[in-house]
Chain A
Protein backbone atom coordinates (compact mmCIF):
# COMPACT_ATOMS: atom_id res chain seq x y z
CA UNK A 1 0.00 0.00 0.00
CA UNK A 2 2.69 2.41 1.02
CA UNK A 3 4.75 1.62 -2.02
CA UNK A 4 1.82 2.15 -4.34
CA UNK A 5 1.16 5.50 -2.70
CA UNK A 6 4.78 6.52 -3.03
CA UNK A 7 4.86 5.63 -6.72
CA UNK A 8 1.64 7.51 -7.28
CA UNK A 9 3.15 10.54 -5.56
CA UNK A 10 6.25 10.38 -7.69
CA UNK A 11 4.24 10.23 -10.91
CA UNK A 12 2.25 13.28 -9.92
CA UNK A 13 5.44 15.10 -8.93
CA UNK A 14 7.02 14.37 -12.29
CA UNK A 15 3.94 15.56 -14.12
CA UNK A 16 4.05 18.87 -12.27
CA UNK A 17 7.75 19.48 -13.05
CA UNK A 18 8.57 18.96 -16.74
CA UNK A 19 12.13 17.88 -17.42
CA UNK A 20 14.58 20.37 -18.93
CA UNK A 21 14.06 19.08 -22.48
CA UNK A 22 10.28 19.32 -22.22
CA UNK A 23 10.48 22.90 -21.00
CA UNK A 24 11.74 23.99 -24.43
CA UNK A 25 15.10 25.40 -25.49
CA UNK A 26 17.22 26.90 -22.75
CA UNK A 27 17.55 30.67 -22.53
CA UNK A 28 20.57 32.28 -24.12
CA UNK A 29 21.89 33.19 -20.67
CA UNK A 30 21.87 29.52 -19.73
CA UNK A 31 23.50 28.48 -23.03
CA UNK A 32 26.21 31.16 -22.82
CA UNK A 33 26.92 30.36 -19.19
CA UNK A 34 27.20 26.67 -19.98
CA UNK A 35 29.54 27.29 -22.93
CA UNK A 36 31.80 29.42 -20.76
CA UNK A 37 31.68 26.76 -18.04
CA UNK A 38 33.01 24.23 -20.61
CA UNK A 39 35.79 26.67 -21.55
CA UNK A 40 36.71 27.12 -17.88
CA UNK A 41 36.88 23.36 -17.37
CA UNK A 42 39.18 23.01 -20.40
CA UNK A 43 41.31 25.82 -18.98
CA UNK A 44 41.51 23.94 -15.70
CA UNK A 45 42.54 20.79 -17.58
CA UNK A 46 45.39 22.85 -19.08
CA UNK A 47 46.37 23.99 -15.59
CA UNK A 48 46.31 20.37 -14.44
CA UNK A 49 49.01 19.58 -17.02
CA UNK A 50 51.18 22.39 -15.60
CA UNK A 51 50.44 21.13 -12.08
CA UNK A 52 51.50 17.61 -13.10
CA UNK A 53 54.72 18.97 -14.63
CA UNK A 54 55.44 20.96 -11.49
CA UNK A 55 54.75 18.01 -9.18
CA UNK A 56 57.07 15.78 -11.23
CA UNK A 57 59.86 18.38 -11.34
CA UNK A 58 59.47 19.83 -7.84
CA UNK A 59 62.69 18.19 -6.62
CA UNK A 60 64.72 18.63 -9.83
CA UNK A 61 66.57 21.67 -8.54
CA UNK A 62 69.86 20.88 -10.37
CA UNK A 63 71.82 22.07 -7.35
CA UNK A 64 69.98 25.39 -7.39
CA UNK A 65 67.75 26.88 -4.70
CA UNK A 66 64.71 24.87 -3.60
CA UNK A 67 61.25 26.04 -2.65
CA UNK A 68 62.04 26.16 1.06
CA UNK A 69 64.77 28.75 0.43
CA UNK A 70 62.78 30.82 -2.07
CA UNK A 71 59.16 30.98 -0.90
CA UNK A 72 58.04 33.70 1.47
CA UNK A 73 54.91 32.50 3.24
CA UNK A 74 53.93 35.94 4.47
CA UNK A 75 53.65 37.33 0.96
CA UNK A 76 51.79 34.21 -0.19
CA UNK A 77 49.30 34.66 2.65
CA UNK A 78 48.71 38.30 1.64
CA UNK A 79 48.29 37.28 -2.02
CA UNK A 80 45.76 34.62 -0.98
CA UNK A 81 43.84 37.14 1.12
CA UNK A 82 43.75 39.62 -1.80
CA UNK A 83 42.45 37.06 -4.26
CA UNK A 84 39.87 35.63 -1.85
CA UNK A 85 38.58 39.10 -0.96
CA UNK A 86 38.40 40.05 -4.64
CA UNK A 87 36.40 36.89 -5.32
CA UNK A 88 33.99 37.99 -2.59
CA UNK A 89 33.61 41.53 -3.96
CA UNK A 90 33.12 40.01 -7.43
CA UNK A 91 30.19 38.08 -5.94
CA UNK A 92 28.81 41.30 -4.45
CA UNK A 93 29.17 42.87 -7.89
CA UNK A 94 27.00 40.13 -9.46
CA UNK A 95 24.33 40.82 -6.83
CA UNK A 96 24.48 44.55 -7.61
CA UNK A 97 24.15 43.75 -11.32
CA UNK A 98 21.14 41.52 -10.60
CA UNK A 99 19.35 44.40 -8.88
CA UNK A 100 20.54 46.99 -11.48
CA UNK A 101 22.43 49.25 -9.07
CA UNK A 102 25.08 51.18 -11.00
CA UNK A 103 26.95 52.75 -8.07
CA UNK A 104 27.23 49.47 -6.16
CA UNK A 105 28.42 47.71 -9.33
CA UNK A 106 31.16 50.29 -9.95
CA UNK A 107 32.33 50.22 -6.34
CA UNK A 108 32.44 46.41 -6.18
CA UNK A 109 34.27 46.32 -9.54
CA UNK A 110 36.76 48.93 -8.35
CA UNK A 111 37.54 47.00 -5.15
CA UNK A 112 37.79 43.75 -7.14
CA UNK A 113 40.22 45.43 -9.54
CA UNK A 114 42.36 46.96 -6.79
CA UNK A 115 42.62 43.65 -4.91
CA UNK A 116 43.47 41.76 -8.12
CA UNK A 117 46.10 44.37 -9.01
CA UNK A 118 47.58 44.14 -5.49
CA UNK A 119 47.84 40.38 -5.95
CA UNK A 120 49.64 40.87 -9.27
CA UNK A 121 52.07 43.45 -7.83
CA UNK A 122 53.00 41.09 -4.99
CA UNK A 123 53.50 38.21 -7.40
CA UNK A 124 55.64 40.28 -9.78
CA UNK A 125 57.74 41.52 -6.84
CA UNK A 126 58.26 37.89 -5.81
CA UNK A 127 59.28 36.95 -9.37
CA UNK A 128 61.63 39.94 -9.63
CA UNK A 129 63.23 39.06 -6.29
CA UNK A 130 63.81 35.46 -7.39
CA UNK A 131 65.27 36.46 -10.75
CA UNK A 132 67.53 39.03 -9.01
CA UNK A 133 69.17 36.30 -6.92
CA UNK A 134 69.73 34.12 -9.99
CA UNK A 135 66.71 31.86 -9.46
CA UNK A 136 65.09 32.60 -12.82
CA UNK A 137 63.20 30.10 -14.95
CA UNK A 138 66.41 28.98 -16.70
CA UNK A 139 68.12 27.94 -13.45
CA UNK A 140 66.54 24.49 -13.03
CA UNK A 141 63.65 22.32 -14.15
CA UNK A 142 61.94 23.04 -10.84
CA UNK A 143 62.09 26.80 -11.45
CA UNK A 144 60.98 26.44 -15.10
CA UNK A 145 57.90 24.54 -13.94
CA UNK A 146 57.32 27.03 -11.13
CA UNK A 147 57.44 30.10 -13.37
CA UNK A 148 55.26 28.44 -16.01
CA UNK A 149 52.58 27.39 -13.54
CA UNK A 150 52.45 30.50 -11.37
CA UNK A 151 53.09 32.80 -14.34
CA UNK A 152 50.22 31.24 -16.27
CA UNK A 153 47.88 31.94 -13.37
CA UNK A 154 49.26 35.49 -13.19
CA UNK A 155 48.56 35.95 -16.90
CA UNK A 156 44.99 34.81 -16.34
CA UNK A 157 44.60 37.36 -13.53
CA UNK A 158 46.01 40.07 -15.83
CA UNK A 159 43.53 39.09 -18.54
CA UNK A 160 40.77 39.18 -15.92
CA UNK A 161 41.71 42.73 -14.89
CA UNK A 162 41.66 43.90 -18.52
CA UNK A 163 38.31 42.16 -19.00
CA UNK A 164 36.86 43.79 -15.88
CA UNK A 165 37.93 47.24 -17.11
CA UNK A 166 36.34 46.62 -20.50
CA UNK A 167 33.14 45.38 -18.87
CA UNK A 168 32.85 48.48 -16.68
CA UNK A 169 33.26 50.64 -19.78
CA UNK A 170 30.47 48.62 -21.43
CA UNK A 171 28.21 49.05 -18.39
CA UNK A 172 28.88 52.80 -18.44
CA UNK A 173 28.20 53.15 -22.18
CA UNK A 174 25.60 50.48 -22.91
CA UNK A 175 23.99 50.02 -19.51
CA UNK A 176 22.72 46.68 -18.22
CA UNK A 177 21.78 45.17 -21.57
CA UNK A 178 21.20 41.44 -21.86
CA UNK A 179 24.47 41.01 -23.80
CA UNK A 180 26.45 42.99 -21.22
CA UNK A 181 24.86 41.03 -18.39
CA UNK A 182 25.83 37.73 -20.00
CA UNK A 183 29.42 38.92 -20.38
CA UNK A 184 29.45 39.97 -16.74
CA UNK A 185 28.15 36.51 -15.79
CA UNK A 186 31.04 34.95 -17.72
CA UNK A 187 33.51 37.32 -16.06
CA UNK A 188 32.38 36.36 -12.56
CA UNK A 189 32.62 32.66 -13.46
CA UNK A 190 36.17 33.29 -14.74
CA UNK A 191 37.21 35.21 -11.63
CA UNK A 192 35.88 32.59 -9.21
CA UNK A 193 37.53 29.80 -11.23
CA UNK A 194 40.87 31.64 -10.98
CA UNK A 195 40.47 31.63 -7.21
CA UNK A 196 39.97 27.85 -7.25
CA UNK A 197 43.17 27.46 -9.27
CA UNK A 198 44.96 29.67 -6.74
CA UNK A 199 43.74 27.45 -3.87
CA UNK A 200 45.57 24.52 -5.50
CA UNK A 201 48.55 26.73 -6.31
CA UNK A 202 49.22 27.89 -2.77
CA UNK A 203 48.58 24.38 -1.46
CA UNK A 204 50.72 22.40 -3.91
CA UNK A 205 53.45 24.93 -4.72
CA UNK A 206 53.93 27.07 -1.65
CA UNK A 207 52.73 25.09 1.37
CA UNK A 208 53.81 21.59 0.25
CA UNK A 209 57.07 23.13 -1.02
CA UNK A 210 57.79 24.47 2.44
CA UNK A 211 56.86 21.18 4.12
CA UNK A 212 59.16 18.96 2.06
Chain B
Protein backbone atom coordinates (compact mmCIF):
# COMPACT_ATOMS: atom_id res chain seq x y z
CA UNK B 1 0.00 0.00 0.00
CA UNK B 2 2.72 2.39 0.96
CA UNK B 3 4.53 1.29 -2.18
CA UNK B 4 1.95 2.77 -4.52
CA UNK B 5 1.91 5.97 -2.49
CA UNK B 6 5.64 6.32 -2.80
CA UNK B 7 5.67 5.43 -6.50
CA UNK B 8 3.33 8.29 -7.24
CA UNK B 9 5.29 10.72 -5.15
CA UNK B 10 5.61 14.09 -6.90
CA UNK B 11 9.38 14.07 -6.64
CA UNK B 12 9.63 10.87 -8.68
CA UNK B 13 7.35 12.18 -11.41
CA UNK B 14 9.24 15.44 -11.54
CA UNK B 15 12.52 13.61 -11.86
CA UNK B 16 11.56 11.89 -15.09
CA UNK B 17 11.29 14.85 -17.51
CA UNK B 18 14.52 16.08 -16.01
CA UNK B 19 16.25 12.89 -17.07
CA UNK B 20 14.69 13.00 -20.53
CA UNK B 21 15.73 16.53 -21.36
CA UNK B 22 19.25 15.69 -20.24
CA UNK B 23 19.87 12.77 -22.63
CA UNK B 24 22.48 14.47 -24.79
CA UNK B 25 24.10 16.31 -21.89
CA UNK B 26 24.08 13.01 -19.96
CA UNK B 27 26.08 11.34 -22.72
CA UNK B 28 28.46 14.29 -22.67
CA UNK B 29 28.99 13.92 -18.91
CA UNK B 30 29.82 10.21 -19.25
CA UNK B 31 32.10 10.91 -22.22
CA UNK B 32 34.02 13.59 -20.33
CA UNK B 33 34.34 11.17 -17.40
CA UNK B 34 35.61 8.42 -19.69
CA UNK B 35 38.15 10.73 -21.34
CA UNK B 36 39.51 11.94 -17.98
CA UNK B 37 39.64 8.39 -16.61
CA UNK B 38 41.54 7.19 -19.71
CA UNK B 39 44.03 10.05 -19.36
CA UNK B 40 44.58 9.30 -15.65
CA UNK B 41 44.92 5.54 -16.28
CA UNK B 42 47.45 6.16 -19.04
CA UNK B 43 49.38 8.47 -16.70
CA UNK B 44 49.38 5.79 -13.99
CA UNK B 45 50.85 3.20 -16.34
CA UNK B 46 53.39 5.72 -17.63
CA UNK B 47 54.44 6.76 -14.11
CA UNK B 48 54.92 3.11 -13.11
CA UNK B 49 57.13 2.34 -16.11
CA UNK B 50 59.12 5.50 -16.72
CA UNK B 51 62.67 5.96 -15.52
CA UNK B 52 62.41 9.74 -15.68
CA UNK B 53 60.92 10.06 -12.20
CA UNK B 54 62.49 9.59 -8.79
CA UNK B 55 61.67 6.00 -7.74
CA UNK B 56 60.82 7.00 -4.18
CA UNK B 57 58.04 9.29 -5.32
CA UNK B 58 56.41 6.86 -7.76
CA UNK B 59 54.19 5.17 -5.15
CA UNK B 60 52.98 8.53 -3.89
CA UNK B 61 52.32 9.69 -7.45
CA UNK B 62 50.34 6.52 -8.21
CA UNK B 63 48.27 7.04 -5.05
CA UNK B 64 47.48 10.62 -6.02
CA UNK B 65 46.48 9.52 -9.54
CA UNK B 66 44.22 6.79 -8.09
CA UNK B 67 42.53 9.29 -5.75
CA UNK B 68 42.02 11.67 -8.68
CA UNK B 69 40.54 8.90 -10.78
CA UNK B 70 38.26 7.85 -7.92
CA UNK B 71 37.01 11.45 -7.79
CA UNK B 72 36.37 11.42 -11.55
CA UNK B 73 34.37 8.18 -11.23
CA UNK B 74 32.35 9.53 -8.31
CA UNK B 75 31.46 12.81 -10.02
CA UNK B 76 30.97 11.76 -13.65
CA UNK B 77 29.73 8.16 -13.29
CA UNK B 78 28.07 8.03 -9.86
CA UNK B 79 26.86 11.66 -10.02
CA UNK B 80 27.85 12.49 -6.46
CA UNK B 81 27.54 16.26 -6.21
CA UNK B 82 27.75 18.89 -3.50
CA UNK B 83 24.09 19.83 -3.98
CA UNK B 84 21.65 19.79 -1.04
CA UNK B 85 19.87 16.72 -2.51
CA UNK B 86 23.14 14.81 -2.19
CA UNK B 87 24.03 15.64 1.42
CA UNK B 88 23.12 12.18 2.73
CA UNK B 89 25.09 10.41 0.01
CA UNK B 90 28.15 12.56 0.62
CA UNK B 91 27.98 12.09 4.40
CA UNK B 92 27.76 8.29 4.00
CA UNK B 93 30.63 8.38 1.53
CA UNK B 94 32.74 10.48 3.89
CA UNK B 95 32.10 7.99 6.70
CA UNK B 96 33.03 5.09 4.40
CA UNK B 97 36.24 6.82 3.38
CA UNK B 98 37.07 7.44 7.06
CA UNK B 99 36.65 3.73 7.89
CA UNK B 100 38.66 2.67 4.83
CA UNK B 101 41.52 5.00 5.78
CA UNK B 102 41.43 3.79 9.40
CA UNK B 103 41.55 0.13 8.32
CA UNK B 104 44.27 0.49 5.69
CA UNK B 105 46.55 3.07 7.33
CA UNK B 106 46.01 1.57 10.79
CA UNK B 107 46.89 -1.95 9.62
CA UNK B 108 49.99 -0.75 7.79
CA UNK B 109 51.21 1.34 10.76
CA UNK B 110 50.61 -1.40 13.31
CA UNK B 111 52.20 -4.13 11.21
CA UNK B 112 55.22 -1.97 10.37
CA UNK B 113 55.62 -1.15 14.05
CA UNK B 114 55.33 -4.82 15.01
CA UNK B 115 57.92 -5.75 12.41
CA UNK B 116 60.29 -3.17 13.84
CA UNK B 117 59.80 -4.10 17.49
CA UNK B 118 59.32 -7.85 17.36
CA UNK B 119 62.18 -8.65 15.05
CA UNK B 120 64.61 -10.50 17.35
CA UNK B 121 68.10 -9.06 17.36
CA UNK B 122 71.06 -11.17 16.29
CA UNK B 123 72.26 -11.96 19.86
CA UNK B 124 68.81 -13.01 20.94
CA UNK B 125 68.58 -15.36 17.98
CA UNK B 126 71.92 -16.90 18.94
CA UNK B 127 70.76 -17.37 22.55
CA UNK B 128 67.72 -19.22 21.28
CA UNK B 129 69.86 -21.41 19.10
CA UNK B 130 72.06 -22.45 22.04
CA UNK B 131 69.19 -23.80 24.11
A residues less than 8 Å from B55 (CB atoms): 211
B7 at the interface (CB under 8 A from A): yes
Q: Which of A25, A44, A56, A87 meets B77, CB within 8 Å?
A: A87
Q: Is the CB of B78 within 8 A of A56?
A: no
| Given A48-B104, A207-B48: A37 in contact with B11 (beta carbons within 8 A) | no
A residues less than 8 Å from B58 (CB atoms): 211
With an 8 Å Cβ cutoff, the count of chain B residues facing the other chain is 56
Q: How far is B76's CA from A192's CA once the two chains are assembled, in angstroms?
A: 10
Q: How far is B22's CA from A30's CA once the two chains are assembled, in angstroms?
A: 19
Q: Is the CB of A98 within 8 A of B23?
A: yes
Q: Is the CB of B11 within 8 A of A23?
A: yes
A99 at the interface (CB under 8 A from B): yes
Q: Which of B59-102 contact A (CB under 8 A)?
A: 59, 62-63, 65-66, 69-70, 73-74, 77-78, 84-85, 87-89, 92-93, 95-96, 99-100
Q: Which of B6, B63, B88, B92 meets A27, CB within 8 Å?
A: B6
Chain A interface extent, by class:
35 or more
Q: A94's closest neighbor in chain B, by CB?
A: B26
Q: B87's closest neighbor in chain A, by CB?
A: A20
Q: Which of A29, A77, A178, A212 meets B45, CB within 8 Å?
A: A77
B residues less than 8 Å from A45 (CB atoms): 96, 99-100, 103
A202 at the interface (CB under 8 A from B): yes
Indicate the member of B19, B63, B78, B85 with the most A CB atoms within 10 Å. B78
Q: A41's closest neighbor in chain B, by CB?
A: B96
Q: Nearest Cβ distance between residue B119 and chain A, in whole angstroms?
A: 14
Secondary structure at chain B's binding surface: helix, strand, loop or mixed?
helix
Secondary structure at chain A's binding surface: helix, strand, loop or mixed?
helix
B residues less than 8 Å from A31 (CB atoms): 6
Q: Nearest Cβ distance between residue A184 and chain B, in whole angstroms?
A: 12
Indicate the member of A80, A199, A200 with the most B CB atoms within 10 Å. A199
Q: Which of A65-108 contact B (CB under 8 A)?
A: 73, 77, 80-81, 84-85, 87-88, 91-92, 95, 98-99
Question: Which A positions have Cβ atoms within 8 angstroms of B?
Answer: 17, 19-20, 23-31, 34, 37-38, 41-42, 44-45, 48-49, 51-53, 55-56, 73, 77, 80-81, 84-85, 87-88, 91-92, 95, 98-99, 178, 189, 192-193, 195-196, 199-200, 202-204, 207-208, 210-212
Q: Which 9 A-B pairs have the closest CB atoms?
A: A41-B96, A52-B107, A98-B19, A28-B6, A207-B48, A91-B30, A48-B100, A203-B66, A27-B12
